[in-house]
Amino acid sequence: MASEITSTEYIRHHLTNAAMCNTENGIAFNKACSEAGFWVWHIDTLAWSIGLGFLFLMLFRSVAKKATTGVPGKMQAFVEMVVDFVDSNVKDTFHGKNKLIAPLALTIFVWVFLMNLMDLVPVDLLPWIAGQIGATGFGMDPHDVYMKVVPTTDLNMTFALAFGVFFLIIFYSIKVKGFGGFMKELTFQPFNHWAFIPVNFILEFVTLIAKPMSLALRLFGNLYAGELIFILIAMLGLWQLPLHFPWAVFHILVIVLQAFIFMMLTIVYLSMAHEDH
């Protein structure tokens, strides 16, 4: 594929989402969506993220239903190890009482990990399959068929995850401290004097907004950079093999680490929301 188009077109093609939007002429895709405005759906991000979410639920549910008290099988041992790992981190970090936090942390860790793991799929494989399906089934030019298979390289996905966490932060801050307590936290810290209310509010509001921003941008930036390097390596043709393997091995650490960081920051932020000063 890289030999048929220029390097710039090759990179742009791989970093473009399959977009769907509603225009005056009905449903449109990609090129017609460039001027469609705000409501553009990245259908590849939605499909892969929802599919991987169902995979996580079905896999863990299946293991839970078949779990035995005797010597566990390999899959049960692996799932138990993941659950124990997440549970120990929640117990060490979260100091409130909330039955939601451990399942939420487990869901975030495994789901983000699975989405990140798609970065190890050869960059040309799934887009090529999508192009062949588009050409054979719909008579499309394969170069007009887009397929971005790593959901966490899409800002829409990382911000959606981060804003979900942000909503829980606000919800539990108000639930635990009351609306008045939450507002006092925003207006009387760090300087506990009425004269500094405007300064306190600016500082605390920026700190509050920085939480979802940092969650979303950190995850997006690391995975987007990793995917871009895989694309650049793929452009080398047969010479990519000596470089692809070591980068893939190193990137496994990034994939796991970013899922862990997103989970841990979520636990920390929600623990802070449960602190009643």
Closest CA to 48 of 127, 141, 139: 127
* Alpha-carbon 277 to chain mean position: 32
Q: What is the pLDDT of residue 2?
A: 42
The answer to whether 224 touches 153, Cβ cutoff 8 Å, is yes
In Å, how far are 37, 121, 140 from 20, measured between CA atoms? 12, 24, 15
Closest CA to 201 of 215, 216, 186, 191: 186
Q: Which residues contact 197 (CB under 8 A, 6 or more apart)?
A: 187, 188
Measured at the CA of 249, the angle between CA 244 and CA 255, to 5 degrees, comes to: 110
Q: What is the pLDDT of residue 3?
A: 44
Q: Which residues contact 261 (CB under 8 A, 6 or more apart)?
A: 218, 219
The answer to whether 231 touches 11, Cβ cutoff 8 Å, is yes
Using CA atoms, how far apart are residues 73 and 243, in angstroms rounded to an integer?
A: 36
Using CA atoms, how far apart are residues 251 and 247, in angstroms rounded to an integer?
A: 6
Residue 36 has phi, psi (to 5 degrees) of -80, -15
In Å, how far are 40, 134, 146, 263 from 138, measured between CA atoms? 21, 5, 14, 41
Closest CA to 248 of 267, 274, 264, 226: 226
Q: What is the pLDDT of residue 167?
A: 96
Q: What is the pLDDT of residue 49?
A: 97
Burial 45-61 (b: 16+ CB within 10 A, else e): bbebbeebbeebeeebe
Active-site residues, by number, are: 214, 218, 222
- 141 three-state secondary structure: coil
Full pLDDT tens readout for the chain, 277 residues: 444 578 888 888 888 888 887 766 666 677 666 655 567 889 999 999 999 999 999 999 999 998 887 778 889 999 999 999 999 999 999 988 899 999 999 999 999 999 999 999 988 889 989 989 988 887 888 888 899 999 999 999 999 999 999 999 999 999 988 888 888 888 887 787 778 788 888 998 999 999 999 999 999 999 999 999 999 998 887 677 777 788 888 899 999 999 999 999 999 999 999 887 6
Q: What is the pLDDT of residue 226?
A: 93
Measured at the CA of 42, the angle between CA 235 and CA 8, to 5 degrees, comes to: 25
The structure tokens listed for 133 are 């399906």
- 45 three-state secondary structure: helix
Domain ranges of the chain: 45-122+152-273
Longest dimension (CA), the chain: 70
Q: At what angle do helices 241-273 and 197-234 cross, to 10 degrees?
A: 160
pTM for the predicted model, two decimal places:
0.89
Q: Which residues contact 49 (CB under 8 A, 6 or more apart)?
A: 111, 115, 151, 157
